[in-house]
A and B are shown apart, each in its own frame.
Chain A
Amino acid sequence: MRSIRRDEVRQLLKEGAQLVEVLPHEEYEEEHIAGAINIRLKELNRKTAMQLDRSRPVIVYCDDYQ
């Protein structure tokens, strides 16, 4: 998985990328990047990933310095 910076995130979003916040639901509810969905890291599996479109890029993120 390649690490990317903010500018590349913005560019990929313009191209239809999907954002996934992997933090606990409470933290997601508190604040998340606009348009992101929430799948906790420990719950990320084939079933939960069904809500994502495999044909589009996926960007995962958490808080910072994780």
Chain B
Amino acid sequence: MGFEQVYEYEDGKRDWGSFGLPREGRLAEQPSGGDVARADVPTCLLSDDLSEVRRRVRESGWETCIVVNEDRVVLGRLGRKAIGSDDGESVEEAMTEGPSTVRPSIGLEALLKRMQSNNLSSWLVTTPMGSLSGSCSAARPRSA
């Protein structure tokens, strides 16, 4: 048809949406997990000092801290119990490994249903590569 440069984006719009890139249309106008995820959720590295991490998280008012690597890929989570304790462990020993995650494009309604059915009050949002976008909380979404 006379076009010289034609490409195929093989991974398509699901891939695009999974990275929270701009979309349009009826569903795109509805809030997604990526829209309400709080990017200011505390994070730490495996090598960080646990007592220092606890102090920092408590001061921030959060009750959780996400353990990530240098590329912000999620490795685990320090939950309320781990943050509230003063036991002298390492971050690796105290964390819960491999928390469940969703992609930024998930609809808010679907995300809330998933939280309810798993009896969880928050859920992590990551890119398909596992990099942390933020934390969604049923109690205090970012947009509230």
Contacts and interface: CB of A to CB of B under 8 A. Distances in A.
B15 interface: yes
A64 B22 contact: no
A33 B21 contact: yes
A54 B6 contact: no
B15 A60 contact: no
A33 B13 contact: yes
A6 B12 CA distance: 8
Given A34-B23, A52-B3, A64 B11 contact: yes
A16 B19 CA distance: 21
Nearest to A61: B9
A49 B10 contact: no
B130 interface: no
Interface size class of B (residues with CB under 8 A): 20 to 34
Contacts of A19: 9
A49 B3 contact: yes
A1 B2 contact: no
B26 interface: yes
B16 interface: yes
Given A2-B8, A3-B8, A63-B12, A34 B26 contact: no
Given A46-B1, A49-B3, A30 B9 contact: no
Contacts of B10: 3-5, 61, 64
Q: Nearest 3 CB-CB pairs, A to B? A: A34-B22, A57-B5, A61-B9
Given A28-B25, A45-B1, A58-B7, 7 more contacts: A1-B8, A6-B16, A9-B16, A17-B5, A49-B1, A58-B3, A59-B7
6 contacts: A6-B15, A32-B25, A45-B1, A62-B12, A64-B10, A64-B12
